[in-house]
Chain A
Amino acid sequence: GQSLEQPSEVTAVEGAIVQINCTYQTSGFYGLSWYQQHDGGAPTFLSYNALDGLEETGRFSSFLSRSDSYGYLLLQELQMKDSASYFCAVSYNTDKLIFGTGTRLQVFP
């Protein structure tokens, strides 16, 4: 089957670090992507891991472990504007993305 699991909600304060985990059960898997979506807005691409390890893009980093079918998004130096939903998504050898259930991040002052 194709399912991706994420925590439904995470809360943190400004300046903190938060990690959003994603576990997947799938085959024919190409890589793991992360998207950010503000309420009423469109999903925005954040990062993509095709290989095991850590990818860093500014305050955001993403990690993948294929052997553990697991990945995470790490957000550092949290800002109020980071309050949004974060989706992991997997891609296959077809033209489709399967999204996880999404994690709602709330950042408090």
Chain B
Amino acid sequence: AAGVIQSPRHLIKEKRETATLKCYPIPRHDTVYWYQQGPGQDPQFLISFYEKMQSDKGSIPDRFSAQQFSDYHSELNMSSLELGDSALYFCASSRKSPSEQYFGPGTRLTVT
């Protein structure tokens, strides 16, 4: 069965640089979510899109933005990167309910 695809899997950036993370949800899933997970932490909700429209927003810094495109893939854009942005970034998708989400393998971002 198709799963959520994320790219890249690993990314190393320097402070003040920009990063773009991509997510391809499971086909026919109508909602995409982005989460940030620091070491030993629980996943923190960043933002979600339902049918290509932003549907909810969590603790996402103003330096970050996201969008969902006509083919349903989503991108998380991160600018002016800081050391504290180093984390695992997960994309998840669901169909009709936020309670049952399917997560991608994550992108490990390291900011040096």
State which residues 34-67 of A face B: CB under 8 Å: 41-45, 48, 50
A44 to B4, CA, bound (A): 12
**With A42-B90, A87-B42, A101-B42 in contact, is A96–B98 under 8 Å at CB?**
yes
Flag whether B99 is at the interface (Cβ < 8 A).
yes
Chain B residue numbers with a CB within 8 Å of A41 are 105
A44 to B3, CA, bound (A): 12
Chain A residue numbers with a CB within 8 Å of B43 are 43, 87, 97, 99
Interface residues of A (CB under 8 A from B): 30-31, 33, 41-45, 48, 50, 87, 89, 91-92, 94-102
Chain A residue numbers with a CB within 8 Å of B92 are 43
Whether the Cβ atoms of B56 and A45 lie closer than 8 Å is no
By beta carbon, the residue of chain B nearest A98 is B45
CB distance from A16 to the nearest CB of B (A): 25
How many of chain B's residues have a CB under 8 angstroms from any CB in A?
A: 23
Whether the Cβ atoms of A48 and B98 lie closer than 8 Å is no
Flag whether B97 is at the interface (Cβ < 8 A).
yes
Chain A residue numbers with a CB within 8 Å of B104 are 42
Chain B residue numbers with a CB within 8 Å of A44 are 103
Instruction: Report which of A50, A92, A97, A100 forms a contact with B101, defined as CB distance below 8 A.
Output: A97
Contact with A along B48-78 (1 / 0, CB 8 A): 1010000110100000000000000000000
Whether the Cβ atoms of B42 and A97 lie closer than 8 Å is no
Whether the Cβ atoms of B98 and A95 lie closer than 8 Å is yes
Chain B residue numbers with a CB within 8 Å of A95 are 31, 33, 48, 50, 55-56, 98
By beta carbon, the residue of chain A nearest B30 is A95
